Amino acid sequence: MSVPQPPEPVPGARLLFSLDPAVSHLNHGSFGAVPIGVQRAQQRLRDEMETNPLRFFTQGLIDRITHTRRHLATFLGADPEGTALVGNTTTGVAVVLGSLGLRPGDELLTTDHGYGAVAFAVERECRRTGASHRVLRVPLTATDEEVVEIVRAGLRPGRTKLLIVDQLTSPTAKLLPTAAIVGLARERQVPVLVDAAHAPGMLPTPVAGVGADFWVGNLHKWAYAPRGTAALVVAPPWRDRIEPLVVSWEQPAGFPGNVEWQATLDYTPWLAAPVGLYTLRSLGVERVRAHNAALAAYGQRVVGDALGVAPTDLPEPDGPSVAMRIVPLPPGVATTLDAARELQKRIADRLATEVAVTSWGGRGWLRLCGQVYNSPDEYDRLAVRLPPFLAAA
């Protein structure tokens, strides 16, 4: 099988970012990259705030946040009245967990493709409330139908108080059939929280059609927003039950205002986020998605070939616009979380390449992303340099 052709570059896109040109940034999925225009918009907001802090915080800020929320929610395909802006996905997860009223005997259900910090949050809530945590094992090669059947067998109606499932998994870059899972869980009266950290900007209207009780996703990854911008979407039956992590003067307003308002929080990332959407639309939303997905597929293939991985052993993400791909590392490499972190650091230091290295299923994996500021030669260079680097380690 031949290596897929890389996509045509998006003209001028690289100049929109202030990334170090001496480094290959192939890990957009971890912290994103904020376009220069968005950085400047946020700085203007910071300047406004510091020119007169009292005026900034007390005269119209809540209305500005509300207007921004409506703009971002519409982009996501969400109900603005059921959407709250939060700092990141894990903050939204914490809000939901703290609002469930868990008791001893209750159960939280996740899959083994979940994000590590979310697992930590679940474990902490279980320690605090006496609930239990159970993990469903989902094979990397499972089809959508097989994933749904695994979830079906794992639900315990009456005991399972929340199922947390990723829309697009972080460690394995696998697109899960969230709409089908939510429909199945609803039949059994089990609420679902969709962890959609990577969905905004990458997947079209990722909230619409899913129907989850709770959905939370970051806009500072693939939607070009400043870091610290995420959305928590809550279905109508749950909105009156949501409790913020910090009680503020907006507590009487209820959701979403009581979650959003935290006194002297820096709200400039949220207010600048629509400029990120403007940047995305200026480049062409569908064009960016197609480019990024094709580039990630190219990178996966050339690096996989260099490491001797058969094309059939390169996991497919199961979605046409998924801009993250994983490559299995040689046996014995990065088999633990600590080893994965150390290898990621050494690749950054010695190969001037930022990637994600994860440990999942007892094996090390290299996660590569595609973004408009990347070029095929960055993956080609990694393909040439990585095998001898690993062999010498």
Tens of pLDDT, residue by residue, the chain (393 residues): 567 889 999 999 999 999 999 999 999 999 999 999 999 999 999 999 999 999 999 999 999 999 999 999 999 999 999 999 999 999 999 999 999 999 999 999 999 999 999 999 999 999 999 999 999 999 999 999 999 999 999 999 999 999 999 999 999 999 999 999 999 999 999 999 999 999 999 999 999 999 999 999 999 999 999 999 999 999 999 999 999 999 999 999 999 999 999 889 999 999 999 999 999 999 999 999 999 999 999 999 999 999 999 999 999 998 899 999 999 999 999 999 999 999 999 999 999 999 999 999 999 999 999 999 999 999 999 999 999 999 997
Question: Is 32:16 a contact under the CB 8 Å cutoff?
Answer: no
| Structural domains of the chain ordered from first start | 13-33+285-392 (3.90.1150.10), 38-278 (3.40.640.10)
* Residue partners of 264: CB distance under 8 A and separation at least 6: 57
Question: Is 85:72 a contact under the CB 8 Å cutoff?
Answer: yes
Task: Count CA within 13 A, CB hemisphere, residue 178.
Answer: 30
* Residue partners of 269: CB distance under 8 A and separation at least 6: 42, 220, 225, 226, 227, 228, 229
Peptide bond connecting 256 to the previous residue in cis, omega within 30 degrees of 0:
yes
* Residue partners of 330: CB distance under 8 A and separation at least 6: 307, 364, 390
Q: Per DSSP, what are the bridge partners of residue 24?
A: 353
What single-letter DSSP state applies at residue 6?
P
The whole-number pLDDT of residue 45 equals 98
Question: Is 128:105 a contact under the CB 8 Å cutoff?
Answer: no
Which helix (H) or strand (E) element contains residue 353? Answer: strand 353-354
The whole-number pLDDT of residue 1 equals 58
The whole-number pLDDT of residue 263 equals 84
Rounded to whole angstroms, the Cα distance separating 99 from 258 reads 13
The whole-number pLDDT of residue 318 equals 86
Query: What is the gyration radius of the CA atoms in the chain, in angstroms?
Result: 21
φ, ψ dihedrals at 160, nearest 5°: -75, 110
Q: Per DSSP, what are the bridge partners of residue 338?
A: none
The whole-number pLDDT of residue 3 equals 74
Q: Per DSSP, what are the bridge partners of residue 367?
A: 326, 356
CA distances from 317 to 108, 345, 378 (A): 26, 25, 21
Tokens at 194, concatenated: 């969709």
Question: Is 75:277 a contact under the CB 8 Å cutoff?
Answer: yes
Task: Count CA within 13 A, CB hemisphere, residue 76.
Answer: 34
Rounded to whole angstroms, the Cα distance separating 19 from 243 reads 38
- Cα dihedral 161, 317, 16, 260, rounded to 10, equals 0
